[in-house]
Homo-oligomer: A and B are copies of this chain.
């Protein structure tokens, strides 16, 4: 059966029953239909004094076209922990609407390790992203409106640093001239749209600890500069209060369920390149109060996703992760070992072994954060025992267990081994989380630390203009911010074709940006697309409601 067929046959329970597993009273579950709910702000506040459960991060090797199954492992592990009698919940990101109309939509997990309702999660869900779009664009409208009515703040309209957003793959909106049509329509200027998940408002919602913090961070957004280069903030435009109102409901985490009726928090979805790529802090901290084990994931491979999870999300939210599951597959190891995609079906333990260098470097890297680790091998039907053993042997040599997981085919029952190992790591008391660099390290040095310690670059190429910019931000009081790296996810280098564990390369930084509200400096290494386009034949052409009332073509 396909993922969608399995999802349609799901035996969903009313969301109140899922909430009850976490002792959430019905009045604090704000339902959206019968299978989705938001958790009330009031209830979340009431949890402040409860102890936290254990936090487990699921991350992965560098992605390959062979697929890794990070979300599937996250969902499976949540079910696996429940299957061995633990009170566990998972925390994952919400899907972006726009891309579903280009390529087929992303399910949340796969096989028998999925979160439902799948259709809703790939459509409007509980409206969070629409709220972010509205809040973001309200600030844009108020900014242009301020200029229209006299520009008291002396904004230099050539130096507007804030674009508009839409949750749509629409290349026509990347570069525009706005305010045309004469006096009544404002001052013509260049602008454009990003996709909603690339909005700083999205990153803010995902890092804010509560509504007050949200409003404060929104106020901190830099929207433009004056001729003298001094920044103009969202707060100066007086949009922060109304934006917080628009986001009040979106700040409440969403609760849904896995196919095995276990609780799943699905909340927030910032870009993993120009932002940090993790679900919301509020969802994670709430889940930690309600469950004994919380499994979450980070975007892309561990070089980007796990590093940002640790150095941005955990550092800023005061989270202390207890264990890491590093996902690898036989197929991906083969590709890293030089096998072409067409040949992945042929047994080749030597190629698996050769490809393990990529896995090995991630293992070394993750150890630097002080959190104990297990490798989860996501099983594919074509994998042979010898190939699996090749990964396990490689890991053993490095003092790490590698457990074979069959959650895709068997749900929670297929991943009990990893679940037990994770419990052992969490309860072993060996976790001693520390971020990679201290807050007070100079910004350029932070970039260099990540590049050298994690990517293993020989050096970082930062031209004088970029160094000056970083210095200016340090002088303006932003020096203590963490750095958010925007780099290809396919390689440790900036060249997506260099798989494995490359050495002998430099990391050129093309541009740096300040996300003052979200609270990080973005270092852009290579081309970053913040508004995707649609392909020649968009999947939307085949999406429709069929005669049974089901949605065809979305998956």
Contact = CB atoms under 8 A, between A and B. Distances in A.
B551 A245 contact: yes
Interface of A: 27, 30-34, 41, 97, 101, 123-124, 127, 130-131, 133-134, 137-138, 140-142, 144-145, 148-149, 164, 166-181, 184-186, 190-191, 211, 215, 238-242, 244-246, 248-249, 533-534, 536, 538, 540-545, 549, 551, 553-554
12 contacts: A124-B246, A127-B127, A141-B169, A144-B170, A145-B172, A145-B538, A172-B179, A174-B185, A175-B179, A211-B545, A240-B544, A248-B551
Nearest to A26: B34
B174 A181 contact: yes
Q: Chain B CB within 10 Å — which of A172, A173, A240 has the most?
A: A172
B175 A185 contact: yes
B211 A245 contact: no
Contact of A246 (B123, B131, B166, B178): B123
A383 to B, nearest CB: 36
B34 A27 contact: yes
A555 to B, nearest CB: 12
Given A127-B130, A130-B124, A176-B177, A534 B27 contact: no
Given A101-B142, A240-B544, 11 more contacts: A124-B131, A124-B249, A130-B130, A141-B534, A145-B172, A171-B184, A174-B180, A176-B176, A211-B545, A239-B541, A241-B545
A178 B177 CA distance: 7
B31 A32 contact: yes
A102 to B, nearest CB: 9
A215 B148 CA distance: 40
Contacts of A185: 171-172, 174-175
A50 B533 CA distance: 48
Contacts of A180: 174-177, 190
A385 B166 CA distance: 55
Nearest to A145: B534
A168 B545 CA distance: 30
Contacts of A167: 134
A177 B181 CA distance: 11
B137 A168 contact: yes
A415 B399 CA distance: 81
Q: Chain B CB within 10 Å — which of A240, A536, A540 has the most?
A: A540
A363 to B, nearest CB: 39
A244 B544 contact: yes
B540 A138 contact: yes
B175 A540 contact: no
Given A127-B124, A149-B536, A242-B540, A173 B168 contact: no
A177 B189 CA distance: 10
Contacts of A144: 170-172
